[in-house]
Amino acid sequence: MPVMEYLERNAELYGDEIALVELNPAVADGRRMTWKEYSLIESTSFAPYRREITWRVFNEKANRCANLLIERGVRRGDKVAIIMYNCLEWLPIYFGVLKAGAIAVPFNFRYDAAEILYCAELAEVDVIIFGPEFIGRIEINAERLSKGRLLIYVGDNCPSFAESYHIMVDDCSSAKPDVGTISEDDFGAIYFSSGTTGFPKAILHKHQSLTQAAQMEQRHHRTGRDDNFLCIPPLYHTGAKFHWMGSLVAGSKAVLLKGTKPEIILDAVSKEQCTIVWLLVPWAQDIVDALDRGDLNLEDYKLDQWRLMHIGAQPVPPSLIRRWKKYFPHHDYDTNYGLSESTGPGCVHLGLDNVDKVGAIGVPGYRWQCKIVDELGVEVIRGDVGELCVKGPGVMTCYYNDPKATAEVLKDGWLLTGDMAHQDKDGFYFLVDRKKDVIVSGGENIYPVQIEDFLHKFHKVKDVAVIGLPDRRLGEISAAIVELQPNVTCTEEEINNFCLDLPRYKRPKKIIFAEVPRNATGKIEKPVLRKRYGADKLVALENRS
């Protein structure tokens, strides 16, 4: 069943229950609002501190959006881009697009004007729905973007080059649109690759992928009617949206939180009584660091109901989970692996009962298969390193309008992930590194993630990234960009001494103390680091030292 049917079911069965809450930590007179002020707010303006909608209202808003699009000429198979920050309008608009029989095309909110134009043309979008934060980026190319496209603005003070969503949608019917039967074999969404090697690729999925992700999430994390999911990452990302869809399948409440500071996260969990929280590594790291420093006191929060913390989007240092369990020993824990090409996280997952296997990405997820192959596509012997491949009902149809790129990663229904991994004797998969990130130094393969995991154990290190830098003799050498804990001093000698427990060839040859950049989904931006610390800049650093 397409995921829209879950929304309609929830509206019928649980219509008066809260479906979504939006929290937007505000500043009032230079200070954060008190809990009493926070709980009494009943504002209907575009982005107040706290808003909520029931399942019935959620479904009605989605229907209104669908009927608006249909009235404005959108037909089945048309493509509707969404570029908005997380807000209470985001998911009803997304479901409105699906209910209209159109294809939802979420845009990364970090895209600049050129990337917005590129993705709009690559995916051949017919409509762009955007929020107030993107007026400037849309306006730069408004003339080109508006040719053959409808630009719809969600917010107050609509710019002249767009039409107001709120004005138009209020006059639309809240009844289910009549577009005929939408099946799981119809196209439902286009997502974009992270674009780490240039401009993004457009990833086309059928409704089957969306349904698979929703059902899998509910099953993996045993989401029930009494759960309350705290969603912090951006909804354009497959991870955030499809983790939330576990709540959709269960018919349970979820909270959209704008803010990632440790005190804001714990405050939201406490006041909204959240039971499931998906964190990115930096946020979990910040929470345990704040607890270590004494900046946070767990006794100030009501957290007994919090049952599950799970992490995805990047390799997870085992040391972080050990520290987490010290403060939250009763928490279930899971990690989820996936790609936008596999409809986000979960095609491999650790599982709630496998905390003794922290460090692994896990086992094949619900209805998924996995294998590891060599350069010729032949399965390797268990324990050997090769490229991880996955197969299941969530694999993309293709890279839209890019048959060459599609053929490179889809082989007989298997998706080549580009990640190097190995499988242990118990059947658990462990990531080694991205295929393109492997450093070949003097003929030896060096896997940066292994070194990063090791350096995360050093108490002075907050974050670390290992990249390859050109070397005349060895081809490449490994360089560790080390971000230190706040107010901590450290020398290269200390790092090098700590690394003596590593095999000689794995020890970083260069240590650079600097901030580690991460994108909106928590992944290290290694292309940024490679550009920043190329051979010429590295020489300049050495000359100044």
Contacts of 492-500 with CB under 8 Å at 24 or more apart are 494/460, 495/455, 495/458, 498/455, 498/458, 499/454, 499/455
Domain boundary residue among 404, 434, 464? 434
Residue 255 has pLDDT above 80, yes or no: yes
Based on the fold, state whether residues 427 and 487 are members of the same structural domain. Answer: no
Question: Which tops the pLDDT comparison, 530 or 51?
Answer: 51
Mean pLDDT computed over 362-390: 94
Residue 300 lies in a domain: no
Q: What is the mean pLDDT of the chain?
A: 88
Tell me the CATH number at 94: 3.40.50.12780
Based on the fold, state whether residues 467 and 383 are members of the same structural domain. Answer: no
- Of 29-33, 133-137, 234-238, 334-338, the range with the lowest mean pLDDT is 29-33
Mean pLDDT computed over 108-132: 92
* pLDDT reported for residue 45: 37
Which amino acid, 177?
P
Residue 186 lies in a domain: yes
Band (pLDDT 50/70/90 cuts) for residue 25 is: confident
Based on the fold, state whether residues 114 and 245 are members of the same structural domain. Answer: yes
Domain boundary residue among 434, 461, 485? 434
Residue 508 lies in a domain: yes
* pLDDT reported for residue 316: 77
Residue 293 lies in a domain: no
Which structural domain, as residue segments, surrounds residue 161?
Answer: 3-259
Based on the fold, state whether residues 426 and 465 are members of the same structural domain. Answer: no
Based on the fold, state whether residues 336 and 451 are members of the same structural domain. Answer: no
- Of 322-326, 401-405, 433-437, the range with the lowest mean pLDDT is 433-437
Based on the fold, state whether residues 421 and 464 are members of the same structural domain. Answer: no
* pLDDT reported for residue 539: 39
Based on the fold, state whether residues 476 and 387 are members of the same structural domain. Answer: no
* pLDDT reported for residue 239: 82
Residue 353 has pLDDT above 50, yes or no: yes
Based on the fold, state whether residues 403 and 467 are members of the same structural domain. Answer: no
| CB of 281 closer than 8 Å to CB of 275 | no
Residue 291 lies in a domain: no
CA distance 518 to 98: 31
Based on the fold, state whether residues 225 and 314 are members of the same structural domain. Answer: no
Residue 200 lies in a domain: yes
Residue 275 lies in a domain: no
Tell me the CATH number at 473: 3.30.300.30
Domain boundary residue among 259, 275, 299? 259
Handedness of CA 260, 91, 6, 213 (dihedral sign): negative
Residue 94 has pLDDT above 80, yes or no: yes
pLDDT tens, position by position, 501-533: 887 878 999 999 999 988 766 678 887 888 888
If we measure between CA atoms, which residue out of 511, 477, 509, 478 comes closest to residue 494?
Answer: 511
Tell me the CATH number at 414: 2.30.38.10
* pLDDT reported for residue 30: 40
CA distance 155 to 166: 7
* pLDDT reported for residue 38: 44
Based on the fold, state whether residues 51 and 87 are members of the same structural domain. Answer: yes
Q: Helices marked H in 105-261 — which ranges?
A: 113-122, 135-140, 142-145, 165-169, 207-220, 238-250
Indicate the pTM of the whole model: 0.81
Give the chain's domain count.
Answer: 3
Based on the fold, state whether residues 316 and 361 are members of the same structural domain. Answer: yes
Based on the fold, state whether residues 101 and 233 are members of the same structural domain. Answer: yes
* pLDDT reported for residue 541: 42
Question: Which tops the pLDDT comparison, 104 or 25?
Answer: 104
| CB of 351 closer than 8 Å to CB of 334 | yes
Residue 280 lies in a domain: no
